[in-house]
């Protein structure tokens, strides 16, 4: 029988993967983030995502056949509001995950399992042009052309964290992700392009008191969306990311990541207040970094002015 034990992995290599594993949903495309939404509405979303794949480590490390799988549930609250005459939204995400990984480390089997809350994320997204603040009644006459928007997402270090472990669901640091969003409609088709950069603060208590730093994550996501008259919509999504090189106690790791991912999202209205969203994504190119696939489902309920 194979005994269970904790991973004994290089911190610089390990944390880069785990930022991707825990944040798999966040690193896939989010179609329609900058679409116009009637103001005064509330959205409650319950979602689930399953991710699995291979971990990549520094080639000098004796780690082979590293696999993981992760189940993540999340509750999301969104509020739309009027900001200087344009539509805007505030959202908060609270994730809970179960994570398991195994690998051969120096020829010996190692396994790590954990469950708990991840770091919550808060975001304000504001349209600057092309998305006037409208009531539900006024919105029936709105037709999109070009929308320009911005957003800022903040991740707070409130998730499960143990400085004696290399793998954690929380990161013990803040992150800040400003993003620019462009959305252009041509009849039933909409093209969205959103470049962003994520900055990370220092984790001063990483793996028994080490100082952990990480380079910014540069990311561009695109979505080509087709809207049907029935209210159903489908989106082909793509994402390019680069960065996340780590530094532990001043020693820089040779682990900058570069990945291209692709996915598809399907939106299905149930009635006036309820809808379901299905999505799936996978890696299509990995020069450096980990490779994983994910599939998810989310239910959305909305209420507020005009409903």
Return per-residue pLDDT of the chain as tens, 307 residues.
333 333 333 333 333 333 333 444 444 568 899 999 999 999 999 999 999 988 766 555 566 677 889 999 999 999 999 999 999 999 999 999 999 988 777 777 878 899 999 999 999 999 999 999 999 999 999 999 999 999 999 999 999 999 998 778 999 999 999 999 999 999 999 999 999 999 999 999 998 899 999 999 999 999 999 999 999 999 999 999 999 998 989 988 888 889 999 999 999 999 999 999 999 999 998 877 678 899 999 999 999 987 6
Domain that holds residue 144: 11-304
Q: Return d(Cα 226, Cα 189) in angstroms, integer.
A: 5
Would 128 be classed as within a structural domain?
A: yes
Residue of 181, 133, 167 lying closest to 33 (CA atoms): 181
Would 186 be classed as within a structural domain?
A: yes
Q: Return d(Cα 177, Cα 198) in angstroms, integer.
A: 4
Q: Return d(Cα 143, Cα 130) in angstroms, integer.
A: 10
Give every strand in the sheet of 203-206, ordered side by side.
203-206, 210-214, 246-248, 251-252
| R_g of the chain computed on alpha carbons | 20
Would 1 be classed as within a structural domain?
A: no
pLDDT for residue 295: 95
Would 46 be classed as within a structural domain?
A: yes
Would 285 be classed as within a structural domain?
A: yes
184-200 per-residue burial string, b: 16 or more CB within 10 A, e: under 16: ebeeeebebebebebeb
pLDDT for residue 38: 96
Q: What is the CATH number of the domain that holds 245?
A: 2.40.128.130
Would 2 be classed as within a structural domain?
A: no
Number of domains in the chain: 1
Would 5 be classed as within a structural domain?
A: no
Would 3 be classed as within a structural domain?
A: no
Question: What is the longest distance spanned by two Cα atoms in the chain?
Answer: 67
């Amino acid at each position: 029988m194979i005994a269970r034990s904790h991973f004994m992995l290089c911190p610089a290599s390990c944390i880069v993967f785990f930022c991707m594993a825990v944040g798999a949903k966040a690193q896939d495309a989010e179609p329609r983030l900058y679409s116009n939404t009637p103001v005064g509405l509330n959205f409650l979303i319950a979602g689930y995502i399953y991710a699995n794949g291979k971990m990549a480590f520094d080639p000098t490390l004796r780690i082979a056949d590293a696999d993981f799988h992760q189940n993540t549930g999340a509750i999301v609250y969104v509020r739309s509001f009027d900001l200087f005459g344009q539509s805007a939204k505030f959202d908060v995400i609270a994730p809970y995950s179960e994570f398991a990984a195994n690998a051969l480390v120096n020829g010996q089997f190692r396994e790590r399992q954990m469950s708990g809350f991840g770091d919550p994320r808060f975001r304000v997204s504001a349209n600057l042009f092309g998305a006037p603040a409208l009531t539900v009644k006024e919105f029936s006459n709105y037709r999109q052309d070009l929308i320009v928007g911005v957003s800022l997402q903040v991740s707070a270090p409130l998730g499960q964290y143990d400085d004696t472990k290399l793998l954690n669901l929380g990161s013990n640091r803040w992150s800040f992700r400003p993003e620019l969003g462009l959305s252009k409609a041509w009849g039933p088709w909409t093209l969205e392009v959103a470049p962003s950069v994520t900055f990370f603060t220092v984790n001063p208590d990483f793996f028994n008191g080490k100082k952990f730093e990480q380079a910014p994550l540069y990311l561009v996501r695109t979505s080509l969306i087709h809207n049907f008259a029935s209210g159903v919509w489908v989106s082909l999504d793509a994402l390019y990311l680069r960065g996340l090189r780590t530094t532990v106690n001043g020693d820089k790791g040779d682990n900058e990541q570069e990945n291209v991912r692709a996915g598809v999202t399907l939106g299905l209205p149930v009635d006036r207040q309820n809808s379901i969203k299905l999505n799936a994504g996978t890696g299509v190119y990995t020069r450096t970094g980990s490779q994983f696939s994910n599939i998810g489902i989310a239910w959305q309920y909305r209420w507020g002015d005009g409903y």
